[in-house]
Amino acid sequence: MSAPASRTVRIGSSNGLHARPAKLFAQAAKDAGIPVTISKGSGGAVNAASILSVISLGAENGDYVTLTADGANAEEVLDALTELLTTDHDA
């Protein structure tokens, strides 16, 4: 069994991970079908598929978050989630 894949990305939405970008991200994480977590700074990792958990991070534009995915297609899942996080959904 391989180790979980991890990636640190910068939040691209100009208003941070608020309702709409958080919803898009959490839905994509849920649809991935493998466990995905997201954390900010020294805070604990939360379930990326939970919109409330994602919003509770308080991630603002320019903040760095760390994603971790564990499963057969973890790298592909992280590619898709990274694209969601780095895109400005408020533009």
The pair of three-digit structure tokens given for residue 35, joined into one six-digit string: 């466990």
Neighbour-count burial of 13, counting CB atoms closer than 10 A to its CB (0-12 exposed, 13-18 middle, 19+ buried): buried
User: With bands split at pLDDT 50, 70 and 90, how would you rate the model's confidence at 91?
Assistant: confident
Residue closest to 81 by CA, chosen among 15, 41, 34, 14: 34
Q: How many domains does the chain have?
A: 1
**pTM for this prediction:** 0.94
| pLDDT one-digit tens code per residue, 26-72 | 999 999 999 999 999 988 999 999 999 999 999 999 999 999 999 98
The whole-chain average pLDDT of the chain stands at 94
CATH number at residue 70: 3.30.1340.10
Residue 85 has pLDDT above 90, yes or no: yes
**Within a domain: residue 91?**
no
Considering Cα of 14, then 15, then 17, then 22, what sign does the dihedral take? negative
Bridge partners for 27 per DSSP: none
Enclosing domain of residue 39: 5-86
- The predicted pLDDT at position 3 comes to 81
Q: Let me know if 18 is a catalytic residue.
A: yes
The pair of three-digit structure tokens given for residue 7, joined into one six-digit string: 């990636």
Catalytic position from the list 4, 6, 7, 18: 18
